[in-house]
Structure 1
C-alpha cells in the first residue's frame, strides 16, 4: 500500500525517508532552509567543493544576510528596530519581534505525520517475533524516519500489535545497540527528556549529557522539553536540575531553562553589542575576580545571532579570543557550559562535528555520548550532511569511517551508527 502526504499537502518532507508519495507525509509546508532539530538554523553552511570547503560566511559588520538564513539584521548605532525598543539586557525578558518561531520538528506534540506506517510496523514485529531477532531489519527500518515519521511508526506499532515498541526492543536487544534503537524510537523530544533525567539521577551529574540537551536551545524547544519532562516524571525539570548543581552553575542553568532568550529575529544593534562586549570584558578582566553572573546572564539571554556578533566584535575590539578568555577565567562545568554556548551559536555545524570526535578521542570510546550525539544529529539530514563535511575539513578523515574504526568490534551497534550517519 502506498502512503503519501494527505490530500492538498504535497510539500517536501522533513528528512529523507521515504520519497514523497511512498511514505509518511509531513503536516507542515517547508519555508526557507530546512530546520535544524533542537536549535535554530545556522547561517551559511559548508557546501561541497573541490579540495574542501570554506568556513560559513560571517555577516556581522556588513549587510544583513539574505532572507531565510535565520540571522538577525544589524542596525547602526542609535537606530531602533521598527515595532519595538532595543533588546533588554541581562535577565530581563527579551523583546519579541514578530511571532515566536515554532518548535523544531519532533518537539510539538500537536504535529503529526500523515500516511500509513503499517507495513514498517509489521516488519518490526516480524523482526522480533519468535526465535531470534533480525537486527538488520531493525537497523534498516528505524534509522531512516524523521522526527514525525518515527512518532507515527511507534504509535502504529503499539496500536496495531497491542504492544509497546520501546519495551519490545529493550527485551530483544542489548548494549549500546539497544540504547541507540531506544533513542530512535523515542524521538528527539522524549529522548532529550530521558537523557536529562539520566544525567542528574543518582550520585554526581553527567555534565556533558546535561550540556548537550539544554544549552543553545530555542525558547520553543526548551519549553517543550520542560513540559514533556513534567509529564513523564511528574517533577519539575528546573527543580531536579537545581538540586543537582553547585550554586553558580545552578544559576546559569536556571537562566538557560527560563527560556527567555532573544529570538533569532531580534536585531543586532551595534550600540547594544558594544555594551555587551564591554560588560563581558569588565566581568572577566577585573583584578578581584570574575563576575560570573554577568557573563552567564548575557550569554544565556542573547540569541545565537547576537552571540555570533559578540564573538566577532570581541575579536575586533580586544584583539583576542572570547573563548580563550572564558577558558582562562572559568573552570569545571561552568567553563564547559559557557564555551559550548558560544561555540554552538558561532558555528553549530562545526560544534557538532567536534563533539562527535570528542566522544571517540582518547583512550576508550564514550559510547553513551556517541550514541546520543549520532542520533541527535541524524534527525536533520541537511544538517547531518554539513556536519560530515565539517568533520572532514577539520580532521582530514571521513566521519563514517572514523565511527566504524572506533566500534568495529560490535557489528550491530556499528551498523546502526553507520546507518544513522549515511
Structure 2
C-alpha cells in the first residue's frame, strides 16, 4: 500500500480558509454548523468515520477535500491515504501579501465566527498578557515573523460554548449524589464534549449546582479512571499546564510529558501555556524547564519555550531551505561529535511548512529520510525530541499513532501516558479519525480494540469512549 504524507495544515489554532467548515477539536475551531447546536445535549450522530481523502500528488490536493488533516473525503477510501502537504519543493511562494498555501488571510476568522475573546490582563507576577494568553506582544509580530496564528480552541481562558448546559450538570450531579457513583453516566456526559462545551459545563455546574465539578469528580472516583476524567474536565490548556508542572516537579523529569506538551506547538499556544503556568504556579515555565534538564536538551527546550518560531504565514524560501538541509547534514554526518546546537536551532525556529520542505530537500539531496538520519545520529531524550518536532510537521496523525503504541508495547501498559495521550487526541475528532487510520496503517491493528485489550473496568470504558 502506498503511503502519502498528510495534507496542508494551518498552524495550530489558525483559522481555516473561508468557504470550508473548520475542523473540530484540540487544534482547530470546531465545525459548529455540522454538529448539534450549542446548548443541545451532546450525544447526537457521531462524526463520519472511515472516509479519508483519496490519493493525491505533491501540489495537487484531492478534489472536494474539506478542511485539514482529519477532514473526511466525500468518498470512502480504505487504508490511510493522506495527501501531499504542500506544493512541490522549490515552487514560488504566494505573491506578497497573500496568505500561505491553502490558508485564509491571517487575523480574519471564518464567516460566522468571531475571534475567541480573552480575559483582561492583570498586573503582578505571572499575570496574563493583555488580551488573552497566547496573544502577540504589543507592537505586532517580531521582525522576520509573519502575522501570528490564533491560539488553539480551548487556549483562550474564559471562553465557553453558548447554550444551556443545566441538564448535563443535573445528570453529573445525580451520578455522584448519594451512595455510590454512576461511572457510566459520568462517561456518557463528559466524553462527547469539545473544549468549549467542557468549559461551559464546568462553569454552569458551579453556578447551577453551587459546587466544583473537578472536586466532586475527584472525590467520587479513583485510579486512572479519575485521572482521565479530571484531564477532560481541566480542558486542553490547563491540562497542558498541569502536565508541564508535573513533568518537572519533584525528583527526576518526565521527558515524554515535556515533549508532548511543548514540542511542535505554535507560538500562540506556547505563549498561552506559559502565561497560564505562571499565573497558576507563580513560577516561570522556561526557568523550571531549563533547571530540570541538562546540557543540550536544556538549550533545546529553552529555545522552544521562547516561542519565536517563524509563523506559518511566512512563505517558504527555497534557498534558505537548501542552506538548512546542508547545515543539518554537515552538523551530523561523518563527525566525531554532532553539533547539536545547530540542529536544535533549525528545528526550534522553523515553521511546520519549512520543516516539511527541509524534510523533502534532505531526502532528495542525500537519498535518506531526515527521520532515519536523526534516528541514526541521536539517542535518548534528544532523539525523541527531534523526532517529535519533525513528525508534528510532516505527519501529526502518525506521530500520535506511534506515541499511543509506545504506551502499550512490551510488558505492561504505561497507563499514565496512555491517559494523557488519549485525552489529547480526543479533543480533535477529525484528527482522531486520522490517528486511528494511521495506527491501522502502521501497526495493522484497530486502535480502539488495542486500547480495550490493555485496559479494564471504568478506565477501559472511558478510554474507549474518548476514542470512538
TM-score of the pair, normalised by structure 2 = 0.75
**Other-structure match for 2:36:** 19
Q: Given the alignment of the two structures, is residue 385 of structure 1 paired with residue 433 of structure 2, yes or no?
A: yes
Are 1:261 and 1:303, in contact at CA under 8 Å, matched by a contact in 2?
yes
The residue aligned with 1:96 is: 145
SS at match of 1:243: helix
CA RMSD of aligned residues (A): 2.6
Q: Is contact 1:43–1:70 with CA below 8 Å preserved after alignment?
A: no
Q: Give the counterpart of 1:413 among 459, 464, 467.
A: 459
In the alignment, which residue of structure 2 is the partner of 1:284? 332
> What's the offset of the Cα at 1:94?
6.2
- Cα distance per residue 1:115-170 (max 9 Å; x no partner): 11111111111111110001011000010111111011111112222221111111
The answer (yes or no) to whether the contact 2:183–2:458 under 8 Å persists in 1 is yes
> Which residue does 1:220 correspond to in 2?
268
* 1:249–1:71 Cα change, 3 Å: farther
**2: distance between equivalents of 1:399 and 1:69?**
30
Q: Which position in structure 1 is the counterpart of 2:179?
A: 131
Distance in structure 1 (CA, Å) of the matches to 2:406 and 2:187: 25
**Structure with greater helix percent:** 1
User: Structure 2 unaligned runs (5+)?
Assistant: 1-20, 25-29, 43-66, 106-141
Q: Deviations over 1:342-367 (max 9, x none)?
A: 11111111111111111111111111
User: Retained in 1: the 8 A contact 2:355–2:394?
Assistant: yes
Q: What residue number does 2:451 align with?
A: 403
SS at match of 1:153: helix
Q: Quick one: distance in 1 between partners of 2:279 and 2:372? A: 40
SS of residue paired to 2:193 = coil
Separation in structure 2 between the aligned mates of residue 49 and residue 394 of structure 1, nearest angstrom = 19
Q: Is the 8 A contact 1:71 1:265 kept in 2?
A: no
Q: Pairwise mapping of residues 351-362 of structure 1 onto structure 2 (< 5 A)? A: 351-362=399-410
Q: CA contact under 8 A between 1:24 and 1:113: conserved in structure 2? A: no
Confirm or deny: 8 A CA contact 1:24 1:114 kept in the other structure.
Answer: no
CA distances 1:218-245 after superposition (whole Å, capped 9, x unpaired): 0000000001101111111111111100
CA contact (8 A) 2:191 2:462 kept: yes
Shift of 1:70: 4.8
1:366 aligns with 2:414: yes
Of 51, 61, 86, the match for 1:59: 86
| TM-score, normalisation: structure 1 | 0.83
Instruction: Tell whether the 8 Å contact from 1:157 to 1:165 is kept in structure 2 after alignment.
Output: yes
The change in CA–CA distance for 1:287 and 1:193 in structure 2 (over 3 A counts) is: same
CA contact (8 A) 1:45 1:56 kept: no
Number of residues of Structure 1 aligned to a counterpart in Structure 2: 375
- Tell me whether 1:174 sits opposite 2:222 in the alignment: yes
Shift of 1:386: 1.3
- 1:358 and 1:46 map into 2 onto residues whose CA distance is 27
Distance change (3 Å), C-alpha of 1:70 and 1:332: farther
Contact 2:347 2:355 in 1 (8 A): yes
CA–CA separation in structure 1 for the residues paired with 2:201 and 2:461: 21
1:186-335 matches, within 5 Å, as 186-335=234-383
Out of 179, 183, 196, the residue aligned to residue 231 of structure 2 is 183
